[in-house]
Amino acid sequence: MRTLAAELKIHPNTAHKVVQYLIQEGWLESRPGIGTLVADPPQARAGERKRILQQEVEQLVVEARRVGLELEEVIAAIESQWTRFEKPLEVSRK
């Protein structure tokens, strides 16, 4: 913690709080005898996934309207991409 605090020029207590928060959120994991490591990215919670999706869809709609696309064109593009990304998953399952 002291090294991290010194590098970032913050108080050691602040560094400790940040690390503890990242452990609590699942971004870091503490392993006895090894230390603190970067964890596999945590799965987004249902509410978080919905919020992220809403933000992304809003950006898509704003951009689509800006360039004059119709709803049907946007839906067709989404369906095309959805299908495109499904195919590699099917191959990897075999």
Domain ranges of the chain: 2-38, 46-93
For residue 59, the tally of other CB atoms under 10 A from its CB is 10
Contact 16, 10 (CB under 8 A): no
For residue 44, the model assigns a pLDDT of 72
pLDDT on residue 91: 47
- pLDDT tens-place string over residues 45-54: 778 888 889 9
> Do 15 and 8 meet the contact criterion of CB atoms below 8 Å apart?
yes
Element housing 92 (H / E): helix 71-93
The pLDDT value recorded for residue 75 is 96
Q: Whole-angstrom Cα distance, residue 39 to residue 48?
A: 19
Q: What confidence score (pLDDT) does residue 88 get? A: 58
Predicted local distance difference test score (pLDDT) of residue 4: 86
**Share of residues in the chain with pLDDT > 70 (%):** 90
User: 40 with 55: CB under 8 angstroms?
Assistant: no
Q: Give the pTM.
A: 0.46
